[in-house]
Structure 1
Amino acid sequence: MILSPFEWTIAKRYMLPGRGEAFIAMVAGISLVAVMLGVAALVIVMSVMNGFRAELLDKIVGLNGHAIVQAYGGRLDDWQDILKRVEATPGVTRASPLIEQPLLATFNGRVEAILVRGNTGSDIQRLSAKRLVGNFAELRAGSSNVAIGSRLAESLGAQIGDTITIINPQGRSTPFGTVPRQIGYRVAAIFEIGVYDYDNAYVVMPIADAQTLLLTGDTIGMIEVTTTNADTAAQTLAPIKQALAGRAQVTDWKTINASLFEALAVERVAMFVVLSIIVLVAVFNILSSLIMLVRAKTRDIAILRTMGATRKSLLKVFVTIGFIIGALGTAVGLALGLVFLYFRQSVVNGVEFLTGQPLWDPQIRFLTELPSRSDPVEITVICLMALVLSFLATLYPALTAASTDPVQVLRYE
């Protein structure tokens, strides 16, 4: 919508407060701030929700693969043949044997529940990217070296070079009963994945050492699989699932973490709907401010009509005024939201310092830091929604102004 110089002059004049119009200007300013806060809130919340889902997906899938093949009973005896079949499946990029077993670890009188994870050498090297201290190269079969999560290291009070004791309840049988198996392992590395549950429980060791600890012989617990597309992992592994029916089960990451990601999806939609109401309220503020402006300028509008101003010109003037308020609020809100997201962790730390209350507890939130991932398409939709609603809010006041009858207004002037 292009304005003529005359129309633009009138629009600028009406956007600036005149004598006795301070209240109208205040309402227009409140409308602008409301749109700004609504857009900023939507951008911040949706980006954080996207980041939360993406970070969880990256960390969970990056560590555990897109799917697992697990035998009924927990032990795969002929796992070499199954591994070859899985690797030969179209769409599979990596398949690796894995052992996971919940056990207990003790150090200096402290006892913690752990999850022993037996990995191949290549998988251990991939995990080395998460290293905080130590050397993953020391995790060799028969070395009795392990890597532990950072939170577990804090809970046990263990550091690099310390020896922790891992207790396997399924120990050796004696005339006096089963004696738990206790083996000491040296902490060679400490890692941080970024997911609290993992960092608080995982003890990683070579798969051969895990087999010795668990007395499982040459068997493994499962095979983790990575595919070309995480979203189609179930379809990719459908032939394997059918071939292993009755012997092993194939479970993709969506099934394993279904409750978590479904809850995130529901919360994401709910937050978008609730926060959109803020923008809607701001739009009603624009509507009310324009109605008051039209009422205050009724005499001026009548004079403009007698001087030759067309109904279309007046319509364009008042639509422009309301739309500019909405557009400025949207632009400033977008900028505010992006700035907040950039300094999000500093803001969280500052609020925690001022209030003395933890806002981001890793034990509850799974992740150690507030995540963020902005979706350009989603941000565009938010901005367009604010602009369209702002435009619609201008129509009624603008049509009212355009339909003003100068004869009726100026009859008694």
Structure 2
Amino acid sequence: MIQPLPLFIGLRYMRARRRNRFVSFISASSMLGIAVGVMALITVLSVMNGFEKELRERILGMVSHATVQDYEGSLQDWAGLIPELEGMPDVTGVAPFVRGEVMLTRGSAVTGALLRGVDPEREAAVSEVADNVVAGSLANLEAGSWQIVLGSRLAQELGVGLGDPLNLVTPEVRASAAGILPRMRRFEVAGIFDVDMAQYDGSLALIHLTDAQRLLRLEEGISGIRLEFTDLMIAPERVRGIARSLPGDYLVSDWTMQHRNFFRAVAMEKTVMFIILMLIVGVAAFNIVSTLIMAVQDKQADIAILRTLGARPATVMAVFVIQGSLLGLLGTLVGTGAGIGLALNVETIVPAIEQWLGLEFISGDVYWISELPSDLRWPDVWRITGSAVVLSLLATLYPAWRAARTAPAEALRYE
């Protein structure tokens, strides 16, 4: 237990004006280094948490929590499965879908697209497309109407707007008097959506489920059934129960199976980034070693006097442990305050810097997210501050031990 005397002397050394200005400079730089490292670590982890959260919400807003498919590819007799799936625990949305890859053409503009046949009445329960339609409506998709809803970037690339016609070409071919020709169908744009994700805004096209079945020659079959749960985190557990409950052999997968590697990579990047930035804090913390070694040299006479007055080596050691720990603690507190403030306001600060410099740090044409999100999590803050304080404390042990071993006679010989 630290006694009042070491605490008093340690605080006194912190407040005293040092004769050696270089020691003061090293002390200030050590404290500043810890503050900058802690601030950077809190800010970077908050931004990475924000990216992870945004990606999870946006990806899973377009990709279902779970999917029921047939091992053969085309799911038949699916109409009877829907009421049964709707009765499963925690299921809030069920929607059939048809999936395929096609080409869309408009004049000289040609682009590939991911075609999804949907039931407009059920799609809103498993997807956020209906909430992000910026022109037209998903309800405009009617069976046999050959209407299509496009992502905003896809519509821009084709140069089409609401009500414009375009041609859809499937990979299948048909034989005719003119030879082998691809199957083609004319559609009318009934809506445009914008989910602010280039992957979907630039490639996804929606048509009515019945039209997709006819176009892709699936007859009454579908590609699968999408499920939505009350909480995406319970999807893996619920999927196992659904697979056991369904009468038949179905392929039931959840979002963690489809995107496991992606989110695992994000988690690994966070861990690596924590280690890299903690090294910055470690370098700054171990500057305390230099500070205290020079402080011990500077205070040789004081240490000798304390020892001759009866102070034990542990008391002398505690003085410098307190002094070094206070440097680390002050740097950690300053860095924590600055990091929290920056993490909470990064979504405002970064656009202001972009506008001031005339630059775009995150281009929507390249990345899934065009804004810099932030999600401050207090467990990360406690972990960072705790690690910084522990590193600072460890950095004080060797110089304090050297101070405790000072021989009074040797230190006072030339005084």
Relative to structure 1, the CA distance from residue 374 to residue 72 in structure 2 (aligned partners, 3 Å threshold; closer, same or farther) is: same
Contact in 2 for aligned 1:124/1:136 (Cα 8 Å): no
Two-structure CA RMSD over aligned residues (Å): 3.2
What is the CA distance between 1:77 and its match in structure 2? Answer: 1.7
Contact in 2 for aligned 1:144/1:185 (Cα 8 Å): yes
Q: What is the 5 A alignment of 1:224-239?
A: 224-239=226-241
Of all paired residues, the percent bearing the same amino acid is 37
Q: Deviations over 1:192-238 (max 9, x none)?
A: 22332111111123323333433433322111122345344344223
Match of residue 123 from structure 1? 123
**Please, which runs of 5 or more residues in structure 1 have no aligned partner?**
none
Match of residue 27 from structure 2? 28
Match of 1:369 among 371, 394, 398: 371
Q: What is the 5 A alignment of 1:236-315?
A: 236-241=238-243, 248-306=250-308, 314-315=316-317
- Matches of 2:260 and 2:405 in 1, distance apart? 57
Match of 2:341 among 325, 339, 342: 339
Relative to structure 1, the CA distance from residue 175 to residue 241 in structure 2 (aligned partners, 3 Å threshold; closer, same or farther) is: farther
Q: Give the TM-score, by structure 2 length.
A: 0.86
Relative to structure 1, the CA distance from residue 40 to residue 154 in structure 2 (aligned partners, 3 Å threshold; closer, same or farther) is: farther
Which piece of structure 1 moves more, 15-24 or 326-335? 15-24
SS of the counterpart of 1:257? helix
Match of residue 71 from structure 1? 70
Contact in 2 for aligned 1:68/1:224 (Cα 8 Å): yes
What is the CA distance between 1:328 and its match in structure 2? Answer: 2.0
Q: Which amino acid letter does the alignment assign opposite residue 271 of structure 2?
A: V
What is the CA distance between 1:289 and its match in structure 2? Answer: 0.5
Relative to structure 1, the CA distance from residue 307 to residue 348 in structure 2 (aligned partners, 3 Å threshold; closer, same or farther) is: same
Contact in 2 for aligned 1:17/1:24 (Cα 8 Å): no
Match of 1:195 among 197, 216, 240: 197
1:37 aligns with 2:39: no
Which piece of structure 1 moves more, 207-216 or 56-65? 207-216
Match of residue 49 from structure 1? 48
What is the CA distance between 1:380 and its match in structure 2? Answer: 0.8
Contact in 2 for aligned 1:56/1:195 (Cα 8 Å): no
Q: Deviations over 1:19-53 (max 9, x none)?
A: 54211111111111211122122222222222222
Relative to structure 1, the CA distance from residue 395 to residue 141 in structure 2 (aligned partners, 3 Å threshold; closer, same or farther) is: same
What is the CA distance between 1:286 and its match in structure 2? Answer: 1.1
Which piece of structure 1 moves more, 120-129 or 96-105? 120-129
Q: Give the TM-score, by structure 1 length.
A: 0.86
Relative to structure 1, the CA distance from residue 281 to residue 105 in structure 2 (aligned partners, 3 Å threshold; closer, same or farther) is: same
Q: Deviations over 1:163-207 (max 9, x none)?
A: 333222436553444543433333343222233211111112332
Relative to structure 1, the CA distance from residue 161 to residue 109 in structure 2 (aligned partners, 3 Å threshold; closer, same or farther) is: same
Which piece of structure 1 moves more, 288-297 or 318-327? 318-327
**Aligned pairs, how many?**
412
Match of residue 328 from structure 1? 330
Which piece of structure 1 moves more, 207-216 or 75-84? 207-216
Which piece of structure 1 moves more, 113-122 or 241-250? 241-250
What is the CA distance between 1:332 and its match in structure 2? Answer: 2.1
Match of 2:165 among 153, 163, 166: 163
Contact in 1 for aligned 2:151/2:203 (Cα 8 Å): yes
SS of the counterpart of 2:129? helix
Relative to structure 1, the CA distance from residue 317 to residue 189 in structure 2 (aligned partners, 3 Å threshold; closer, same or farther) is: farther
**Please, which runs of 5 or more residues in structure 2 have no aligned partner?**
none
